[in-house]
Structure 1
């Protein structure tokens, strides 16, 4: 299965359209959204291209292939508009031998790791991308943000295909990749 992971959209339609263009061109099977979908949040500036209604329409067209979790800027009113579940603090996605623990990062994060067994821990929230294998044998991936990257980083998302996890620039080029060995 080919999976694309994105986090911290914060209501910016043009950046989401760019990511979904890559998703379509490369024929991904599942879109995993790790929170902060529609709202830009009180600590951020208003993003250029903000269009929550446009994002709702675009994502609802793809509802059958989306797994999503709640971010700290997401609310029940957002769930009323989106036609896929997105209010859980985490989701577990299994692809063959790999268990992905998906969360936004404001509840579960590297300082508060989940006890649920997993192979790949994927989160967002900090807007700082990261991809590394840990001493415990799992992989940690922070998706960064497609709208508000921090720390001098560029906008990023991630993909998983054939055992390889990749952090990508908005044009799809690879910033870093990591091959995940089977843990089962």
Structure 2
């Protein structure tokens, strides 16, 4: 199973197009959206190429392979434009290894406020706009960063999961930014 993660799109059409092009190149079967899909939010500037309606139209073309959770900037009005559900605060995915992968945006659950998970399970979130792939309190924390508003001088990034490995790649050229290895039974 190959999963492709993007977070914090914030209605930017250019970034969304670039991420979907990377999704196509990756050969991933599933596209995971970790929230803040259409709205730029009150703390962010309006992004260049801001076009939430067109972002929705573009994402709707992938509705059959999208799993999405609600971000703190997402609303019921946004859901009216999207043809896939995105108003759940979290979602649980079972990996082939039997591990649980908890998907959320990151404003409710994060490394400082972990959901109820077993040792070795995975917390996937966005919200901070800072990539992460590391162990924390016997859970693996994964954040693909932001495709629209990366922070701390970082570049736009997305995430991949395949064969027990989570990787963060740069959106502009698919080069590896960081990676974390997660093997069955490995609780580092």
Asked if Structure 1 and Structure 2 have the same fold, meaning a TM-score greater than 0.5 normalized by the shorter chain, the answer is yes
Show the counterpart of 1:54. Answer: 54
Equivalent residues of 1:119, 1:183 under 8 A apart: no
TM-score by length of 2: 0.92
SS at match of 2:179: strand
Show the counterpart of 2:147. Answer: 146
- 1:19-65 CA-to-partner distances (Å, cap 9, x unmatched) read 11111112110000000000001111110111111111111111110
Output the CA distance in 2 between the equivalents of 1:44 and 1:134: 28
Farther-moved stretch of structure 1 (98-107 vs 62-71): 98-107
For structure 2, list consecutive stretches of 5 or more residues without a partner in the other structure.
none
Aligned-pair distance for 1:135?
4.4
Aligned 1:18-167 pairs, distance under 5 A: 18-97=18-97, 98-117=99-118, 119-136=121-138, 138-167=139-168
Equivalent residues of 1:35, 1:104 under 8 A apart: yes
Equivalent residues of 1:93, 1:99 under 8 A apart: yes
- Structure 1's consecutive aligned runs of 4 or more residues displaced over 2 angstroms after TM superposition are none
Over the residues paired in the alignment, what is the CA RMSD in angstroms?
1.4
For structure 1, list consecutive stretches of 5 or more residues without a partner in the other structure.
none
Output the CA distance in 2 between the equivalents of 1:52 and 1:24: 21
Aligned residues: 183
Equivalent residues of 2:111, 2:136 under 8 A apart: no
SS at match of 1:175: strand
SS at match of 2:177: strand
TM-score by length of 1: 0.94
Output the CA distance in 2 between the equivalents of 1:39 and 1:129: 21
Aligned-pair distance for 1:87?
0.5
Aligned-pair distance for 1:116?
4.0
Aligned-pair distance for 1:95?
2.5
